[in-house]
Amino acid sequence: MARNLRLLGFLALICASLSISGAAVIRPINDAHRSAALELFVPTNGSFGSLEEAYEALRTFQIFGVEKSTEISHATCPVVAEKLGSSSFISKDLFLALRVNSILGCQIDARTFEDVASKLQAVIKNASSLVDFHYGVEGLLHIKDQGISVALSDADGTFHSIKALSQSDGRWRYDSNSAESSTYAAGIALETLAGVVSLADKDVDQSKIGIVKHDIIKLFDSIKSYDDGTLYFDEKHVDASEYKGPLATSASVIRGVTAFAKVASGRLNIPSDKMLGLAKFFLSIGIPGCTKDLFNQIESLSHLEDNRVSIPLILSLPSTVLSLTTRDQLKVEVTTVLGSAAPPLTVSLVQAFRSDSKDTPVLENQELQFDSENTIHYLDIIPLKLDAGKYKLMFEISLHDPENLNTYATAGRTSVMAFITGSINIGKAEIGIFDSDSGKSEALQKLDLSRDSALSLAANHLQKLHLSFQLTTPLGHHFKPHQVLLKLRHETNVEHIFVMESSARQFKIVLDFLSLVEKFYYLSGKYEIELTVGDAAMENSFLRALGHIELDLPKPPEKAARPPPLPVDPYSRFGPKQEIAHIFREPERRPPKELSLTFLALTLLPFVGFLIGLMRLGVNLKSFPSSVVPASFSILFHAGIAAVLLLYVLFWLKLDLFTTLKVLGFLGVFLVFVGHRTLSHHASATAKLKSS
Amino acid sequence: MIPVHLHFEEIEKKLRMAKSTSSDAQMLIRSLRTAYAATPTNLKIIDLYVVYAIVTAVIQVVYMGVVGSFPFNSFLSGVLSCVGTAVLAVCLRIQVNKENKEFKDLPPERAYADFILCNLVLHLVIMNFLG
């Protein structure tokens, strides 16, 4: 159990890093989530690995309205039937199987269900831990949904036992032995209590239900929040073995609270902004990257979609970039978390602030019109005379039917960042070279910045370069973009970038080359001029090549800084390296083959001479023993010597020393034995001859 | 006029003197040869073997002089094999020679067995060093 939870914690870490979109923009669930679910929940040959994973996949598909495939039923139903039909008492297995079966609707006969029901009743009667109660009660609830009549006999007692595990801060313990209380366990407990109430054959004591409602309020007091207004539940202590992460914990609490709100009569006094905060939390994680997180997200949002506490309504903008050139309208969508229609309401733009003047609103109290065909609230921004720039818009929702205020949760004020973009006019562009002592110069020439120019300027270090232009918005105001940069690039690719300042409604820069001589590393020559003007609200941001300027700078003194080394292409180190010329040892000069063969013959010549000499001397084999046994020993002796010599030849040709020594050992022993016999026989023979 | 028979006498005397020096050398060689012929056959065989080994060594050294000593280990092993076996044969001759009083009690078969054994060990080492 602990190992599984550790795995879950690790999985949560991976899922957090795999999450696709950031937490900035909150949008209701849409088709992107649906296709992500289809991509993530992929069965292998129809089965999902375990019943838990199968349930996650099937429930997610059920919420998205994806049709059940027969392949999945064929693969999973046998497993379900086997688990339900087996005689085991493991309540977890029965619970998981019943859960999957409630979606798949496998063909299980009523007898099996009745057997399982009686087993679960026994589990509940003997249960002491929260999870046992949970499996038993939820299992019975699933069986009841199949049409079998089940009832919890001692509902009050069960309720009391579960309630006994609660703590004063609204959390629950897993069983009476554990010291730590857990928020996740609170969610399980509330769900189980709701199950007990709906299974009870007679009504449960209302005062007990009231106490649980009180516990829920206390549990919601421990809710945590992020800076962007999202709320979530998390454990008090992050204990590595049992820790499940805020997503799973919040999902568990929502499951429990919405289930309990369904069965409890009267209202739960949970403030609606907390439900909205929880909804925003689940929507702000974007599209999770792993199955467990996606399941928790979608299942919690489906519980929030139609719960009896308050249904959150999400205000979102389909597009946060509006263009003045294409005369876009400001469009706002208000839906439930899963994208269903909201009740009749009006959206009004309460205030709009420009990013550079955060105190004074540029717009106040504009009501948006409703387009019932596309269920979108819209506002024409052209008549409002809004200029290009970044805006913070504050919206407010007002429901038409005052009774809906209890059912739905709308935020007080929702703020959204939006861009209004437009085409910026560039005018009065001038460029020229000044002499530094005289104030004016006739050399100022007009520049057309709507396309690249090919100017050819020349200056020495005593002169100055002057460039100026004006930027105006579509409404005629002076525009200050985010980037206005002038770049001078030398032939050797050394670059210098200058930021242009804005003053008195125009952008101007004067490059005094006398002061820049050191910065330019005293490099004279041709410099390419480039002008960059860009901003997020500017539709026609540009990078213009203006031409080149020939700079004549003085010679660098000895101590001048050298220009920085040019960056080496970082991928060049993966290219081929320099060729290495190896120097090999010259092979020794060998003699010609014929000479060697001649000398080989010459070497063998003395052996021939030796044989001839032996014959001249009259060598004979007269003293070779004549009788059989000594003769055989003699032959063996000579054969042994020949064998050793042959071994030596083989050793030279291909054997190694160890094999040779091994064989030599055997041959030597043999030779010694045989030689001894032969020579002693010969010695005795000569001794006999001498004596006789 | 010198008489012809006196001329002849002078020539005869000169020839006799020359004959005596050359005949001295010849007599020396002849006596060595006859003395050597008296040695037993087995010693003659060993002497022939020694001569054979030395001649082989000399031929190897001449070859090295011609082509240079590149695989020096091979040259050494070849020459030392010849020289080593010659040395062992000389030892055998000393031990087998009946006129040698020092080795009177050593049976020649024993000396021969030693000769064979030492040769086998020498040639194992030579083969290893040959490369």
Here the ipTM equals: 0.80
What local confidence, expressed as pLDDT, does residue A393 receive? 92
> Of the candidates B44, B56, B70, which has its C-beta nearest A606's C-beta?
B56
In one letter, which amino acid is A681? H
Q: What is the mean pLDDT of residues B23-43?
A: 87
Chain B CB within 8 Å of residue A584 CB = no
Which of residues 519 through 578 in chain A touch B, CB cutoff 8 A?
none
> In chain B, which residue's Cα lies nearest the Cα of A654?
B131
Give the model's confidence band at A176: pLDDT under 50 very low, under 70 low, under 90 confident, else very high: confident
> In chain A, which residue's Cα lies nearest the Cα of B79?
A603
> In chain A, which residue's Cα lies nearest the Cα of B112?
A679
pLDDT digits (tens, 9 = 90+) for B40-97: 888 899 999 999 999 999 999 999 998 888 889 999 999 999 999 999 999 999 999 8
> In chain A, which residue's Cα lies nearest the Cα of B70?
A588
Which residues have C-beta within 8 Å of that of residue A217, sequence separation ≥ 6? A170, A268, A269, A270
pLDDT for residue A259 is more than 70: yes
pLDDT for residue A233 is more than 50: yes
Residues of chain A found within 8 Å of residue B109, distances taken between Cβ atoms: 679-680, 682-683
DSSP code per residue over A388-437: SEEEEEEEEEEESSTTHHHHEE--S-EEEEEEEEBPPEEEEEEEEEEESS
The residue to which tokens 């309020």 are assigned: A217
CB pair distance less than 8 Å for A609 and B107: no
Q: What is the mean pLDDT of residues A585-613?
A: 88
Probe site for chain A from B55, B110, B122 (most A CB atoms < 10 A)? B55
Residues of chain A found within 8 Å of residue B41, distances taken between Cβ atoms: 617-619
pTM tops 0.80, yes or no: no
> Of the candidates A605, A607, A618, which has its C-beta nearest B41's C-beta?
A618
Say how far apart CA B32 and CA B34 lie, in whole Å. 6
Find the radius of gyration of the CA atoms of chain B.
25
Burial (CB < 10 A; 0-12, 13-18, 19+), residue A203, is: exposed
Say how far apart CA B101 and CA B88 lie, in whole Å. 20
Q: What is the mean pLDDT of residues A656-679?
A: 92
Residues of chain B found within 8 Å of residue A590, distances taken between Cβ atoms: 67, 70
DSSP code per residue over B19-46: HHHHHHHHHHHHHHHHHHHTS-HHHHHH
Instruction: Look at residues B48, B87, B49, A648 and name the one whose alpha carbon lies nearest to residue B79.
Output: B87
On whether the CB atoms of residues A27 and A279 are closer than 8 A, the answer is no
State the DSSP H helix or E strand holding residue A379, giving kind and residue range, or none if neither: strand A376-380
What local confidence, expressed as pLDDT, does residue A8 receive? 57
CB pair distance less than 8 Å for B52 and A606: yes
Residues of chain B found within 8 Å of residue A606, distances taken between Cβ atoms: 52, 55-56, 59
**Mean pLDDT across chain A:** 87
CB pair distance less than 8 Å for A609 and B52: yes
Residues of chain B found within 8 Å of residue A591, distances taken between Cβ atoms: 66-68
Chain B CB within 8 Å of residue A606 CB = yes
pLDDT digits (tens, 9 = 90+) for A486-530: 999 998 888 999 999 988 889 999 999 988 888 888 889 999 999
> In chain B, which residue's Cα lies nearest the Cα of A605?
B56
Say how far apart CA A571 and CA A562 lie, in whole Å. 25
On whether the CB atoms of residues A334 and A313 are closer than 8 A, the answer is yes
On whether the CB atoms of residues A595 and B62 are closer than 8 A, the answer is no
H-type helices in B38-107, by residue range?
Answer: 41-67, 72-96
**Is A278 in a helix, a strand, or coil?**
helix
What local confidence, expressed as pLDDT, does residue A238 receive? 73
Chain B CB within 8 Å of residue A602 CB = yes
Angle subtended at Cα A350 by Cα A324 and Cα A223, rounded to the nearest 5 degrees: 115
Which residues have C-beta within 8 Å of that of residue A272, sequence separation ≥ 6? A309, A310, A312, A408, A409, A410
In one letter, which amino acid is A669? V
> In chain B, which residue's Cα lies nearest the Cα of A650?
B127
What local confidence, expressed as pLDDT, does residue A21 receive? 33
Over A580-606, what HEC string results? CCCCCCCCCCCCCHHHHHHHHHHHHHH
The residue to which tokens 């006196």 are assigned: B6
Q: What is the mean pLDDT of residues A309-321?
A: 91
Looking at mean pLDDT, say which of A149-158, A254-263, A675-684 comes out highest: A254-263
Which residues have C-beta within 8 Å of that of residue A640, sequence separation ≥ 6? A667, A670, A671, A674, A675
Tokens in use for A41? 């929940």
Q: What DSSP state is assigned to residue A349?
A: E
CB pair distance less than 8 Å for A610 and B48: yes
Angle subtended at Cα A360 by Cα A356 and Cα A361, rounded to the nearest 5 degrees: 95
Burial (CB < 10 A; 0-12, 13-18, 19+), residue B4, is: exposed
Chain B CB within 8 Å of residue A591 CB = yes
In this structure, are strands A414-421 and A321-323 parallel, antiparallel, or unpaired?
parallel
Q: What is the mean pLDDT of residues A531-546?
A: 93
CB pair distance less than 8 Å for A680 and B109: yes
pLDDT digits (tens, 9 = 90+) for A367-406: 999 988 888 999 998 888 888 999 999 999 999 988 888 8
Angle subtended at Cα A458 by Cα A454 and Cα A459, rounded to the nearest 5 degrees: 140
Q: What is the mean pLDDT of residues A411-418?
A: 88
Chain B CB within 8 Å of residue A619 CB = yes
Q: What is the mean pLDDT of residues A464-484?
A: 91
> Of the candidates A613, A668, A682, which has its C-beta nearest B48's C-beta?
A613
Residues of B with CB under 8 A from a CB of A: 41, 44-45, 48-49, 52, 55-56, 59-60, 63, 66-68, 70, 107-110, 112-113, 116, 120, 123-124, 127-128, 130
CB pair distance less than 8 Å for A610 and B59: no
Probe site for chain A from B47, B109, B118, B122 (most A CB atoms < 10 A)? B109
Find the radius of gyration of the CA atoms of chain A.
47
pLDDT for residue A5 is more than 60: no
**Rounded to a whole number, what is the distance in Å from the CA of A579 to chain B's nearest CA?**
33
Taking one residue from A and the other from B, the number of pairs with CB-CB distance under 8 angstroms is 71
Say how far apart CA A552 and CA A624 lie, in whole Å. 114
pLDDT for residue A250 is more than 90: yes
Gap between the terminal Cα atoms of chain B: 82
Say how far apart CA A160 and CA A230 lie, in whole Å. 34
Which residues have C-beta within 8 Å of that of residue A267, sequence separation ≥ 6? A308, A309, A406
pLDDT for residue B21 is more than 80: no
What local confidence, expressed as pLDDT, does residue A20 receive? 36
> In chain A, which residue's Cα lies nearest the Cα of B42?
A619
Q: What DSSP state is assigned to residue A100?
A: H
Which of residues 622 through 651 in chain A touch B, CB cutoff 8 A?
641, 644-645, 648, 651
Probe site for chain B from A594, A611, A612, A619 (most B CB atoms < 10 A)? A619
pLDDT for residue B1 is more than 60: no
Q: What DSSP state is assigned to residue A672?
A: H
On whether the CB atoms of residues B60 and B78 are closer than 8 A, the answer is yes
On whether the CB atoms of residues A352 and A390 are closer than 8 A, the answer is no
In one letter, which amino acid is A592? P
CB pair distance less than 8 Å for A617 and B124: no
Give the model's confidence band at A24: pLDDT under 50 very low, under 70 low, under 90 confident, else very high: low
pLDDT digits (tens, 9 = 90+) for A103-154: 988 888 888 889 889 989 988 988 889 999 999 999 999 999 888 888 888 8
Instruction: Look at residues A585, A679, A587 and name the one whose alpha carbon lies nearest to residue A630.
Output: A679
Say how far apart CA A387 and CA A390 lie, in whole Å. 9
Q: Is the sign of the CA dihedral B112, B116, B117, B122 positive or negative?
A: positive
> In chain B, which residue's Cα lies nearest the Cα of A601?
B59
pLDDT for residue A99 is more than 70: yes
State the DSSP H helix or E strand holding residue A104, giving kind and residue range, or none if neither: helix A91-104
Tokens in use for A529? 């001029």
Instruction: Look at residues A234, A246, A158, A236 and name the one whose alpha carbon lies nearest to residue A201.
Output: A158
pLDDT for residue A626 is more than 90: no
In one letter, which amino acid is A468? S
CB pair distance less than 8 Å for A617 and B59: no
Over A5-56, what HEC string results? HHHHHHHHHHHHHHCCCCCCCCCCCCHHHHHHHHHHCCCECCECCCHHHHHH
Q: Is the sign of the CA dihedral A395, A396, A400, A405 positive or negative?
A: positive
Residues of chain A found within 8 Å of residue B63, distances taken between Cβ atoms: 599, 602-603
Indicate the angle between helix axes A91-104 and A70-85, nearest 10 degrees: 150
What local confidence, expressed as pLDDT, does residue A7 receive? 59
Dmax (CA) of chain A:
153
**Is A608 in a helix, a strand, or coil?**
helix
Nearest 10 degrees: Cα torsion B110, B116, B121, B122: 120
On whether the CB atoms of residues A292 and A56 are closer than 8 A, the answer is yes
Indicate the angle between helix axes A51-64 and A91-104, nearest 10 degrees: 30
Q: Which long-range contacts (CB under 8 A, 24 or more apart) does A633-641 make?
A: A633/A674, A633/A677, A633/A678, A633/A681, A634/A678, A636/A674, A636/A678, A637/A671, A637/A674, A637/A675, A637/A678, A640/A667, A640/A670, A640/A671, A640/A674, A640/A675, A641/A671, A641/B116, A641/B120
In this structure, are strands A525-534 and A506-512 parallel, antiparallel, or unpaired?
unpaired
Probe site for chain B from A585, A589, A598, A602 (most B CB atoms < 10 A)? A602
> In chain B, which residue's Cα lies nearest the Cα of A613?
B48
**Rounded to a whole number, what is the distance in Å from the CA of A670 to chain B's nearest CA?**
13
Say how far apart CA A388 and CA A473 lie, in whole Å. 7
Tokens in use for B63? 């070859």
**Rounded to a whole number, what is the distance in Å from the CA of B104 to chain A's nearest CA?**
14
pLDDT for residue A217 is more than 90: yes
In one letter, which amino acid is A449? L
Say how far apart CA A594 and CA B28 lie, in whole Å. 44
Give the model's confidence band at A19: pLDDT under 50 very low, under 70 low, under 90 confident, else very high: very low
> In chain B, which residue's Cα lies nearest the Cα of A673?
B113
